[in-house]
Amino acid sequence: MTYTFRALLTGAALFVGGTATAAECIAPANPGGGWDFTCRQIGKILYDIGQVDTPVQVTNMAGGGGGLAFQSVVNERSSEEDLIVAASQATATRLAQNAFGGATADQVRFLGAIGADPGVIVVGADSEFQTLGDMLAAMAADPSSVAFAGGSAAGGFDHLKVLQLAQASGIEDVRSIKYIGVDGGADAITQTVGGFTQGMTGDMSEVVGFIQSGDVRVLAVLTEERVPGFDDIPTAKEQGLDVVAVNWRGLYVPKGVSDDHYQAWADKLQAVGESSEWAEAMAANGLAPFLITGSDFDAFITQNIADVQALSREIGVIQ
């Protein structure tokens, strides 16, 4: 089955219906991870291509694998029409697993996705594991001998990547695999580079800088084909494991926004997705095109959550 971050910048304004109001993007994790990337890149490009008057303010709100930000929007900011929130497959996964304390997807309005971030399995540069097969062989001998860090909570999307790989390789006791959920990909990669875990499970955009600095090695990318610009990284599929895990990156807005404001934000996100600036950002960070906005994306989320629930039950994450 394919599946398909308070840091402040100065001033911000969004023009909707000719009225200027402050625009803010909440990134539900610490600086440096995928949700931070989403807010900062989209916010910058919104300004660069003239969709907003000044740069978008970015607020980092880590906690609960995105749950703190979600609950804050639902309970405290449900009608703020100048607010956008970074989301991803990890968001949909946590909602599918009822991991946000009973929160449901229909308590916000999902706006759209404009890129697909390939899943990766990463080790430190000096790791004994040279291939994904080496790592999985060690896990087969003792599932608890290899610990992973990921930017989603236990049972979330990053955790599911490891469980799918383990299951595909024939490891039966997947629940014995050690996983540490931290607040974002930047924290997860720090765990692995520091030697606290043997591996990191995350997304390509979260590790590009560490690849370039030589601090890590990527054992596998979880895509159908190798990622352009990172052609030396093999896929899991070509290593004999039929696992594809791609993390869409996008936004949601509060439930109480008007239909006009919702559509205005969808149009602005569509403009970002169609821009040369976003094409350059995707190429630099190993993302693939994935542009779907508005009502089409809302329908996609409904099916996506149903698919994740089925997979989570199959692997034993939920009953």
What residue segments make up the domains of the chain, in order of their start? 13-116+248-315, 118-239
Q: What was the pLDDT predicted at 46?
A: 97
Q: What kind of architecture, by CATH, is found in domain 13-116+248-315?
A: 3-Layer(aba) Sandwich (3.40)
d(CA 300, CA 308): 12
Phi, psi torsion values for 103, nearest 5 degrees: -65, 150
User: Which CATH class for the 118-239 domain?
Assistant: alpha beta
pTM above 0.95, yes or no: no
Q: Do domains 13-116+248-315 and 118-239 have the same CATH topology?
A: yes
The pLDDT confidence band at residue 6, using thresholds 50, 70 and 90, is very low
State the pLDDT at residue 153. Answer: 81
Q: Please determine, for residue 14, whether its predicted confidence score (pLDDT) is greater than 60.
A: no
Evaluate whether 8 touches 60 at the Cβ level (below 8 Å).
no
Q: Please count the other Cβ atoms lying within 10 Å of the Cβ belonging to residue 48.
A: 14
Q: What is the pLDDT of residues 266-306, one digit of tens each?
A: 999 999 999 999 999 999 999 998 999 999 998 999 999 99
Question: Residue 56 carries which DSSP code?
Answer: P
How far apart are alpha carbons 62 and 71 in whole angstroms? 12
